[in-house]
Chains A and B, each alone.
Chain A
Amino acid sequence: MKKINKYYLILIILILYSFIQYFEWFKYSTLISNFVSKKNEITKNEVKKRNLVNVFKKKNKISIEQYEERFIEIFDYLPNKNEELGYITDNIDQKDVGLEYMFTQYVLSPHIIKLSSDKKYLIGNFSKKIIEKNIIEDNKYIFCEEKERKRNFDEIINYTKTNNEIKNTWPKNKIVIYSPFLKRSGNKLKHYNCIKNKKFKIVKKFDNGIMIIERD
């Protein structure tokens, strides 16, 4: 009797363990929440293959798939792969800007995309507003040019505080074009000098906000 109890105890523990693990996973799973939110949308009459596929597909704010599509046309216009390219954007949301840069590097590999505006050719990863309102052509922006210096030791150790101080140097409520910094960007520290009337030569412009820009 004692042995049988032990058997079932093992079985219960194993089932309980699996249940807890998978329950936690289900609770936070976007797949499950996707199903729950979509269940009202898919009625019996209109269960279509595409709807079902969409439920399974992950919806991130920014995804690599989107970036693959976003940059697909640019390859033909890029300079030689030995040339380091700069990267500028108008996105000042520090949460997404690093990710956008990293996806750009991933998609454009093996080109080297540096977080700098001090290169002959720059990749402009802009919002659609910049294209639609001809912001670059009409010079309706403020360009914040960065200068790099080595971080001192305190700035490396307290990098969150240092990063917040950098963010405060940008003009508020203006369209700012700049080369971002990453949350942890090694021993380099950026200082921004923001100026008006900086002109860029557009090599190629795409409707989705991507540009190749040549600096003087």
Chain B
Amino acid sequence: MFLLLNLILFIFLTFSLAFILNKIVFSYIPIFQQNFILNIFILIPLSLYFSSVLYFFNLILFENSTVSLIFLEISLILIFFYIFSYKFKNKKVIYQKIISNKNDNLNKILNLFFYFLFVFVILIFLIKSFRSPYGEIDAALVWNRAARFLFRDSGEYWLNNFLLESNFHAGHPFYLGATIARIWTYLNIETKLAPISFHLIHYISTILLLFYSLKFFLRKNINVVISCIFLCSSVLFLQLSVNQYADIPISYFILFSFIFLAASQKNKIIELELFFLAGFFIGIASWVKNEGLIYALSLLLSLIFFDYLKNKKISKKILFFIIGSFITTIPALIKKFFYLAPNHYFSLSLKEKIYLITDFDRLITIIKSIISVFVVNGNYLIIFLVAITYIIGINKKADFKIFKIFLVYFLFSISFFIIIFLQMPYDDIYGIIKATYGRWQMQLLPTCLFSVFLILKEVKN
């Protein structure tokens, strides 16, 4: 009975926050508001972000007291409700109709195929999660282990987390750890269902987010369905989710950020707010995984690059993007600076650090490894995506801005990853790159599909 009441309280707080966030966030992209239950589901990861940050601060300030956690969460909901009532309540929302060609035979077949795949992948997710409820080794040892440190013994010994051997990667941010520990705290049991449902929600939310965002921008059902079939068919995307890795949550926040950037191209009146939200969402990536900071910085640099090309100066919208991303990066920065974890690179002398970064032979090895992994590693995805793009054809009248931003963003992120690989003091750099490549590809896949399908022709009868 007590467990049930706690479960209800947890669900109530999570959904209330998602509900009020839906009212604020989706007032900028009105088509989402046609189905508010769906919107709330899509926004649960955002709600979980806020809750995980509160959990972290509750741990620092109130030693993980459940009462103070509930108080903090209710206060946050009230603050957002206050913001909504004063700023967004009377905001005029213009709905746009989706052109649905349901009588089209191909559309029917594709829709059926998509629904079948969607059910199929969720079924596989459940079966595989039953088989390995702890996820893959990395997930258990890095993120779920962090959750244990946060949750067990009322958080008294969570600082032990930073005294572990460096192989446990205690330097990772707490989005996964704190969210799972929060669920355990409410339920007062360490259930394996917590990480499984967490990853299932992110998996479904990312697919739905791609589906509804493309529907908003394209208003062409077939193209939207094709892009989502691509995402559902990517086994690695499913596998990483089952493995309970942080790559799917990170892909969700990157995609959301690009959706706001794309919306800013359509609605110049609220451009500043949309840039703020784009920055806000990409900043959250830094609370999910360390490379989130790379993604935030890469997006900022690519926006500055295009802005500087156009105006020869940095405009106000970039400033809003920086403010947005800075706000959500604060928890990750606090953790990085105040709770230091063992790090290979920092333990080296200055001379050795410089040598690693500037060694030309290692740079060549890394570039060769990236190229070889790219060519050898069974890139069906890229081959098929190129084939589909070729068959559908590129719409020359489409706005290429988002696609261009994505390409530059991609190049910046590769450059940062090369620097990260350079500072790794290991001799099996090819193995590390090979292991990272697939995960990196999946982190960017939803955003890649979103940017590519924005510029494709409409498939119509």
A47 interface residue per 8 A CB criterion: no
- How far apart are the CA atoms of A7 and B428 in the complex, in Å? 46
A21→B234 contact, CB < 8 A: yes
A10→B226 contact, CB < 8 A: yes
A102 interface residue per 8 A CB criterion: yes
Q: A7-B106, A102-B137, A106-B141 are in contact. Are A17 and B384 (CB under 8 A)?
A: yes
Q: A24-B235, A102-B167 are in contact. Are A109 and B152 (CB under 8 A)?
A: yes
Q: A3-B461, A10-B391, A186-B344 are in contact. Are A81 and B137 (CB under 8 A)?
A: no
A14→B113 contact, CB < 8 A: yes
For A152, give the chain B residue with the smallest CB separation: B352
Size band of the A side of the interface? 35 or more
A18→B117 contact, CB < 8 A: yes
A109→B149 contact, CB < 8 A: yes
- How far apart are the CA atoms of A182 and B164 in the complex, in Å? 13
B23 interface residue per 8 A CB criterion: no
Residues of B within 8 A of A153 (CB): 348, 352, 355
A187→B152 contact, CB < 8 A: no
- How far apart are the CA atoms of A15 and B233 in the complex, in Å? 9
Residues of B within 8 A of A187 (CB): 344, 347-348
B106→A112 contact, CB < 8 A: no
Q: A109-B152, A182-B167 are in contact. Are A156 and B134 (CB under 8 A)?
A: no
B137→A13 contact, CB < 8 A: no
For B236, give the chain A residue with the smallest CB separation: A21
16 contacts between A and B (CB under 8 A): A13-B387, A14-B110, A14-B233, A17-B230, A58-B131, A58-B132, A98-B167, A105-B145, A106-B144, A112-B164, A115-B165, A153-B355, A159-B425, A160-B428, A186-B344, A187-B347
- With contacts A18-B233, A24-B235 known, what are 20 further pairs, Cβ within 8 A? A7-B461, A10-B459, A11-B113, A13-B387, A17-B230, A18-B117, A20-B380, A21-B380, A65-B134, A106-B141, A106-B148, A109-B149, A110-B148, A157-B425, A158-B427, A182-B165, A182-B167, A185-B167, A186-B347, A187-B344
The 8 closest A-B pairs by CB, nearest first: A18-B233, A109-B148, A58-B131, A110-B157, A156-B425, A17-B384, A64-B134, A7-B106
Q: Which residues of B contact A (CB under 8 A)?
A: 106, 109-110, 113, 117, 127-128, 130-132, 134, 137, 140-141, 144-145, 148-149, 152-153, 156-158, 160-161, 163-168, 226, 229-230, 232-235, 239, 342, 344, 347-348, 352, 355, 378, 380-381, 384, 387-388, 391-392, 425-428, 459, 461
